[in-house]
Amino acid sequence: MRQTIILKFLLFVLGVIPLLSFGNTYKINEISYLSINSAITPATYDYLSYHFKNISHESLAVIKINTPGGLVTVTKDIITLIGNQEFPVAVWISPEGASASSAGAIIASGAHFIFMSPGTNMGAATPVGMGEDIKEGDERNKALNDLTALVRSLSHSRGRPSAPFEAMIRSANSYTDKEALKLKIIDGIISKPHELKQKLEGKEFVLGGKTLNILFAEAPNSKDLEPTVGQKLLEVLANPSTAYFLFLIGIALIYFEFQAPGGFIAGTVGVGFILLAAIAFQVLPLNWGALGLIILGLLLFILEIFITSFGILSLAGLASLVMGSLFLFHGESGFISVEYPIMISSLLGVVVSMAFIAWYLYNDSKKQRSHSNFFMPIGSKGVIVNKNSGTQLYQVKVRGEIWNATIRDDLEIGDSVEVTDVDDEKLLIQIKATN
């Protein structure tokens, strides 16, 4: 009788324990690979959130990351996005030579698992702005304390030591793959995707407040999730240097269209560049005051042409342009700025272009009879492009513009002429034949 009871008890225990173990198991039937190979911008968040919606339960999302950093607000949004998923997320710093710096390291701290390829590094997460460290003071302390508390909380929830992550932020520490493994802040060093399965098989993790063990299917499905065309375009436009350059080019082309109309080609292209810049401005931490300074600087350059200020307006315009460029994308929501080489080369291009235009207009103004005829084509050479039969009315192309013209002489299409006078009311020019 006693043996029968013991036998039934053993059968019960052996039957219940596997069921309990199965209930704490997370089976992975599919591995989805995503890639981040640029700065962390709203385009990055859009890419991840778009594909996360299509990743099913019983899956593992692996984010292969290689980034110099990016926006703090977007970083926090991505961490929240990872925490809200019903599947585990692993960050894999790859390939060899890659790094997860600044925002990339903070995102890694929020992942359920972290892996590094040989020859990679992670860290240097101290928030920076304007191309340098944030100066000592309330702003710096606020940013440091906020991010330090964030990585400390994430490290505790993922079962990792928090001190190395805090040192990444407060002291800008950066760790190689072997150093990170020694500090136990990563789950392993891998080179190939199949090594991921070997490292994670049977590993314990917390998902949705429950402690689970990973169990891989015998042959889990693997797929790469690429960004859409729109996301790739947004990723390019969301670069602050790209947005800044597009804006300046657009303004320059529109200004050129006003000064030398030629079929609206320059103006149309300029508007296109402005619209592309506007798309980028919508997803970047744009400082509207700085944008106003840039526009003011361009207006001052234009006024210099009409007002004799002995260069004062030009200097003021240059100062406004420089200050606006420095602070264009600076704000509490993010710590990125236009790259200095691009900013300096763009500003030099603007200055040289405006100097050339001013020199050209100054020389051209010497040919005009009065200041009121400053932009009139008096003295300019042109070509007959059309002739009205039976009249002395011609159409002349001069300085890229088509004007109606009168002359007593009989001319033919293709003859060269020179503008001698302009009738402002009738928009009619008087011409004379030239050899």
The residue with greater pLDDT, 78 or 41, is 78
Mean pLDDT across 70-84: 90
Length of the chain measured in residues: 435
* Least reliable range by pLDDT among 24-28, 37-41, 104-108: 37-41
Residue type, 2: R
Q: Give the distance, in angstroms, between the CA of residue 48 and the centroid of all CA atoms in the same chain.
A: 16
| Spatial contact of 206 and 212, defined as CB atoms under 8 Å apart | yes
Percentage of the chain lying above the pLDDT 70 cut: 80
Q: How confident is the model at residue 82 (pLDDT cuts 50, 70, 90)?
A: very high
Say if residue 22's pLDDT is above 50. Answer: no
Q: How confident is the model at residue 244 (pLDDT cuts 50, 70, 90)?
A: confident
Which tens digits make up the pLDDT trace of 164-221?
Answer: 999 999 898 999 999 999 999 999 999 998 899 999 999 999 998 899 999 999 889 9
User: Considering the entire predicted model, what is its pTM?
Assistant: 0.67
DSSP string across 153-178: HHHHHHT--SHHHHHHHHS--EEEHH
| Spatial contact of 33 and 55, defined as CB atoms under 8 Å apart | no
Which tens digits make up the pLDDT trace of 269-310?
Answer: 888 888 888 888 877 777 888 888 888 887 887 777 667 666
Q: How confident is the model at residue 6 (pLDDT cuts 50, 70, 90)?
A: low
Mean pLDDT across 122-145: 65
The residue with greater pLDDT, 357 or 51, is 51
List of E strands, 120-162: 121-123, 128-129, 132-133
Q: What is residue 59's three-state secondary structure?
A: strand
CATH of 23-228 among 3.90.480.20, 3.40.30.10, 1.10.150.170, 3.90.226.10 = 3.90.226.10
* Least reliable range by pLDDT among 115-129, 269-283, 308-322: 308-322
CA separation for the pair 222, 31 (Å, rounded): 5
* Least reliable range by pLDDT among 44-58, 105-119, 380-394: 380-394
What is the per-residue pLDDT for 116?
A: 96
List of E strands, 37-123: 59-65, 89-93, 99-101, 113-116, 121-123
CA separation for the pair 430, 421 (Å, rounded): 5
CA separation for the pair 122, 114 (Å, rounded): 11
Mean pLDDT across 335-348: 71
Say if residue 97's pLDDT is above 70. Answer: yes
| Spatial contact of 304 and 318, defined as CB atoms under 8 Å apart | no
What is the per-residue pLDDT for 81?
A: 95
| Spatial contact of 38 and 229, defined as CB atoms under 8 Å apart | no
> Where do the domains of the chain lie?
23-228, 239-365, 373-433
Percentage of the chain lying above the pLDDT 90 cut: 34
What is the per-residue pLDDT for 60?
A: 95
Say if residue 322's pLDDT is above 60. Answer: yes
What is the per-residue pLDDT for 131?
A: 39
Dihedral over Cα of 55, 61, 66, 69: its sign? positive
Say if residue 162's pLDDT is above 80. Answer: yes
CA separation for the pair 252, 87 (Å, rounded): 50
| Adjacent-strand bridge partners of 330 | 335
Tokens of 162: 């928090």
Mean pLDDT computed over every residue of the chain: 81
CA separation for the pair 201, 333 (Å, rounded): 39
Tokens of 251: 């303004």
In angstroms, what CA-CA distances link 281 with 79, 123, 275, 298?
A: 23, 28, 10, 19
Tokens of 74: 């977007």
Question: Which fold does the domain 373-433 belong to in CATH?
Answer: OB fold (Dihydrolipoamide Acetyltransferase, E2P) (2.40.50)
| Spatial contact of 407 and 417, defined as CB atoms under 8 Å apart | yes
What is the per-residue pLDDT for 431?
A: 76
Q: How confident is the model at residue 261 (pLDDT cuts 50, 70, 90)?
A: low
Which tens digits make up the pLDDT trace of 370-429?
Answer: 445 555 677 778 888 888 776 678 888 887 778 888 777 778 788 888 887 777 666 677
CA separation for the pair 92, 113 (Å, rounded): 8
Say if residue 38's pLDDT is above 80. Answer: yes
What is the per-residue pLDDT for 432?
A: 78
What is the per-residue pLDDT for 18?
A: 47
What is the per-residue pLDDT for 192?
A: 92
* Least reliable range by pLDDT among 7-21, 36-50, 115-129: 7-21
